A and B are shown apart, each in its own frame.
Chain A
Amino acid sequence: MSIDSAKTPFAVTLDVGGSLLNKTGSWRSERPVYVDRLPPCNHACPAGEDIQGWLYHAEEGDYRGAWESLIANNPLPAIMGRACYHPCQQACNRAQLDQAVNIHAVERYLGDLALEEQWPAQIVNPPSGKRVLVIGAGPSGLSAAYHLARLGHSVEIHEAGPLPGGMMRFGIPRYRLPREVVDGEVQRIVNMGVELQLNRRVDDIPKALEDGGFDACFVAIGAHIAKRVDIPGPDAARIVDAVSFLRDMETGDAPLQLGRRVVVYGGGNTAVDVARTAKRLGAEPMIVYRRSRSQMPAHDFEIDEALEEGIVVNWLRTITESDQQGFKIEKMTLDENGWPQPTGEFETIEADSLVLALGQNVDQSILTNLPGVTLNRDGVVEVGADMATAFAGVFAGGDMVPAERTVTVAVGHGKKAARNIDAYLRGETYRPLPKSEVANFETLNTWYYTDAEQKMQPVLDAARRRSTFEEVHTGLDADSALFEARRCLSCGNCFECDNCYGICPDNAITKLGAGKRFEFKYDYCKGCGMCVAECPCGAIVMTPEAT
C-alpha cells in the first residue's frame, strides 16, 4: 500500500507494515543447527542396534514399526532380549537420573510379540544372483545369513550339529533361553529362503565353495573345544567338561551321571551355567574358582542368582588331584598384582564328579586348505576390520575371532561381515557411515524429564528355580513395556517436544509437522542460543557464522 503524500501527516516517510521486513537474522554471529548425536546405548551395542530409534516407535505403541527398525540390525530380538548382557544399559544416560531404561526387557517384549504375531522378516534388495555359504548356525552365522538374504543374496548354511543355534542352544541353559524362542527366530530366517543344512560338517572350505558354486563364505564355527587341565587321580571318568555336559543336556544323548555332589571348576558364565543346571537336575553343585569373587569373569547378576539358588562358591582354591572320596584342593592367596599364589594349605572336598569350565578353543581343522589363515597366539583366527580372513572371499566372525565371546558380539560380527561380503560381491569396498559424536549426559537438559523409576521384570522365586528349568526372568506386560519405552530420553535425537519451537523469542522456527521435525528461519534468528540451552536431548548446536 503506498501513501498519498498530499493526505498523510507530516513526518510519515514509511509505508505502514509488519515487522517481517526487518530481517533480524543479520544480527547473528552464531547460528543454531539441528544435529543427530549418537545415543550412548547405540554406541555401546555390540550388534550395532539403533536402540533409540526403535524405542522411538515403541513409545507411540507402534510395536511393529519398532520391531522392523530393530531387526534392520539384529535378527534375533527375542533371543537377545534374554541372553544379551545389555551393555546399552550400562551406558544409558538415564542411569544418572534414576535408573537406566530397561532396554533389554523392551527388546524381549518386541521379540516375543513378533514371534506370537508371526511377523515375517523382509528382503529389501532384489535377487543378486550371488550365492554365499555360511558355516555354522550359531548367532554369528544366523545373523550373517539373515543380513545376506535381506540384501538379496542366496544363502546356504552348513551346520555340523544336529540342531541350529550353536551356543544359544548348546551353551546357554534353557532357564535363561527357552528353546522354542531359538526355534522361532531361526525359523523366521529360514522362511526368508535361507537353506539350512544340519549335520553337514565342512572340512575343506575351498572345495565346499567350488562344489556348491558359492561366491563367498562366512565361517562362524565358534569355539567349542573345551580346555582341559591335568588333574591326576585314579578315576578320570568322573571328570567331564562343561561344553560336553551342556551339549548332552540338549541332545539327551548320554545319561548324565554326575552324582549328587558336583564340583564345577572355573569362574566364567559357563561355570555358573553348569552349576545352575546341575542344581536343577537335583545335584548339590559347588563352584571352585582360583581367584576372588571380584575377579570372576561371570556377570555379577548371574553369580547373585546362583547364590540365591543355593549354589556354594569357593573362591581362592585350585584343584590339585582327585581321589576316591573327592578332590584335593589347595588354598590360594592373592599377591600384590591380584594373581593367585599357592599357600601350601590343602583341604579335601567330597564330591562325586568334577565339571571343568575353563574356557574353550577353536577347532582348527576348519583351516585345512586355507593358505595364510592360521590361529594366532590366543588360538583364534585374525580378521581385518571388514571381518575378512587372509583367504580372499572367506570371512569369519563370532567366538572364533578375537573378541569378547557373547551372543551379541557374534550377531554384530554377522551383520558386519554380511555388509562387507555384500560389497565384495559387487566388487566394492564397504564404507560404514561416519559415527556422530556421542550424546553424553552433559548435552542433555534434564529438567524436562519426569522422574520415573524402572519397571523391573518379574523373577521366578528361588525355590522353584532350584528344581525346574522354567525361565528365571519373565517378560514385561504391555503397560510396563510402554512405560519403559517412554522412559527413553532420546539422547541426541529430536523427539519433537516442540521446545525450540515454543521458546524462540523471535518465532524463528518452523514446525514442519509430525515426523518432519523443525527448520530454522535464519532470516529472523538472532542467534540467542535459547533453543540449544532448552533442548532436552541435545539435538541442536551453535556454530559460528561465516564472516
Chain B
Amino acid sequence: MTKVPDSEQRVKFYQTGTFTVGNRLLDEAQRTVQASVERANSLDSGHRACQGCGEALGARYVVDAALRAADDQLIAANATGCLEVFTTPYPESAWRLPWIHSLFGNAPAVGAGIAAALRARGREDVRVIAQGGDGGTTDIGMGCLSGVFERNDDVLYVCYNNQAYMNTGVQRSSQTPPAARTATTTVAGSEPGNELNSGKSVPLIAMAHGIPYVATASVNDLHDLEYKVVKAMGFRGARYLEVFVPCPLGWGSRPADTIKVARLATQCGMFPLIEAEYGELTAVTRIRDRRPVEEYLKLQRRFAHVFAPENAHQLEALREIAERNIRRFNLLPNEEAAP
C-alpha cells in the first residue's frame, strides 16, 4: 500500500475520505489490509484480552500488515506482558504465525537471535518482528533493545504503548504520563498520580541510534499505521515502531471509546505521529481537527483528579506537553501552521 498525498485523497473520496477502514468505491488494492476478507487475522478470536483492548487491536493491525508485506514469511518474538498472557495460555494460542515467547525483557535479543539464525541459513525471505508492551520494551528490555539498535540487527521491533504495566495490575512504567493514576502512583498527597517531569521518549532514543527507520502510530489511524508498517518492512536493519494503544481497564475509559481516546490523543498533541530515517525526522502526520487536551483527559478516570481546582497545575503541565509536541513536530494542519 502506498500513501496517497492528502491533497489527492480529498478530491477523490468525498464521502469518507480514506479515514474509514475500507471504501467500496476504491480498488481493492487501495483499501487497508484490515478491509480485506483475506487478512491474516494473525491474532485470532477467542483471545482473552479485555473488552475494547487497544493492544489486541494494534497487534493484529501491525502483524497482519507485516505478514502481507513479508508474503507471510514472518516470525514473531514476544515479550512477557498482556500481549503474551492474553493470547497464549499454554498450550493454546491465538497467534497464527510462528511465534516465540521467552522472558519479559529479552524480546529484542530473541528477535536478534532469530535474525542471526536466518542469516546463517541464508533465509533472506523470512523476516523477523519482535514485540512487547511499554514495560517490557522501554523499562526492562531497554538494554537489549539498544543492543539491537546499535548492532543494526535486521528486526522490526514494535512497542505497544499503553503507558503502564497492565498485566500485573496497572503499575507505573517509564511511559506513564505525568499526573496519571496507577496502582503505584496513587491519587494521594499534594502531587497525586505520577510525578511531573518524569518518563522518556523511546522513539527519540531510537532515533539517536541512527537506525534506518523509526515511527509512531496509533490504533485510531489505520491507514497511517499500515503505511508505516509497510514502510518499515521495506528496510533491512533495526527498525522501531511505537503504537499508541489505549487500555480501558488501566486508564479507566469505556471499552467502546478505545479508538476515540486514541484519536483525541493524536488530535490534542499528546501523542505525536512521526517518522524518522537514519536519525532524521522525515515526516509528521498533522492534526486534522485540533481538540483541547481536556477532551482527551476527561474520558479517562486515571486523570480525573487533574480537574480538581487544587491540581490545576497538573492540568497545565499536561497542556504544556501537548503544546510542546505541537511546536516541536509542527503538528498543526497546513492552514494553521506558521507561513
Contact = CB atoms under 8 A, between A and B. Distances in A.
A521 B45 contact: yes
B316 interface: no
A344 interface: no
A514 B24 contact: yes
Contacts of B45: 19-20, 24, 506-508, 521, 523-524
Interface string A487-511: 1111000011111011111111001
B56 to A, nearest CB: 4
Nearest to B289: A447
B21 A502 contact: yes
Given A22-B92, A495-B15, A505 B35 contact: no
Contacts of A503: 21, 34, 57, 222, 259
Given A20-B44, A502-B32, A506-B56, A450 B17 contact: yes
A499 B34 CA distance: 9
A204 B258 CA distance: 70
Contacts of B23: 497-498
B335 to A, nearest CB: 12
Contacts of B311: none
A41 to B, nearest CB: 15
Given A448-B17, A497-B20, A505 B256 contact: no
Given A486-B25, A498-B21, A18 B46 contact: yes
Contacts of B14: 450, 452, 483, 486-487
Interface of B: 9-10, 13-17, 19-25, 31-32, 34-35, 37, 41, 43-49, 51-54, 56-57, 60, 87, 90-94, 96, 222, 248, 254-260, 263, 289
Given A498-B35, A530-B256, A532-B256, A19 B46 contact: yes
Contacts of B31: 498
Secondary structure call for the A interface: loop
A489 B19 contact: no
Contacts, number: 165
A524 to B, nearest CB: 4
A505 B53 contact: yes
Interface in A10-66: 12, 14-24, 27, 59-60
A313 B229 CA distance: 66
Given A505-B56, A528-B258, A529-B255, A60 B25 contact: yes
Contacts of B259: 503, 530, 533-534
A529 B259 CA distance: 11
A21 B46 contact: yes
Interface in A448-503: 448-452, 483, 486-490, 495-499, 501-503
Contacts of B260: 533-534
Nearest to A60: B25
A483 B25 CA distance: 12
A65 B10 CA distance: 26
B256 A22 contact: no
A475 to B, nearest CB: 19
Contacts of B10: 450-452
Interface residues of A, number: 55
24 contacts: A12-B91, A18-B96, A19-B94, A20-B44, A21-B46, A22-B46, A22-B47, A24-B48, A60-B25, A447-B19, A450-B19, A452-B14, A486-B14, A487-B15, A490-B15, A498-B20, A503-B259, A505-B56, A506-B47, A528-B255, A529-B256, A530-B256, A530-B258, A533-B257
A402 to B, nearest CB: 39
Q: What 4 A-B pairs come out closest when comparing CB atoms?
A: A498-B22, A502-B21, A450-B17, A529-B256
Contact of B34 (A18, A19, A451, A502): A502
Given A447-B19, A536-B16, A16 B52 contact: no
A513 interface: yes
Contacts of B34: 498, 501-503
Given A18-B96, A450-B9, A23 B25 contact: no
A527 interface: yes
A108 interface: no
A59 B258 CA distance: 31
Given A16-B92, A499-B20, A533 B46 contact: no
Contacts of A527: 51
A174 interface: no
A25 to B, nearest CB: 9
Given A24-B48, A502-B21, A530-B255, A14 B37 contact: no
Q: Which of B20, B54, B93, B94 has the most CB of A within 10 A?
A: B20
Given A20-B45, A524-B46, A448 B258 contact: no
B292 to A, nearest CB: 16
Contacts of A27: 51
B52 A505 contact: yes
Nearest to B19: A448
B34 to A, nearest CB: 4
B195 to A, nearest CB: 32
A18 B15 contact: no
Interface in A511-527: 511, 513-514, 521, 523-524, 526-527
A59 B21 CA distance: 18
Contacts of B25: 59-60, 486
Given A486-B25, A527-B51, A533-B259, A449 B44 contact: no
Contacts of A21: 46, 92
A20 B35 CA distance: 21
A450 B94 contact: no
Nearest to A532: B256
A34 to B, nearest CB: 16
Nearest to B256: A529
Nearest to B18: A450
Given A498-B20, A499-B21, A524-B45, A533 B15 contact: no
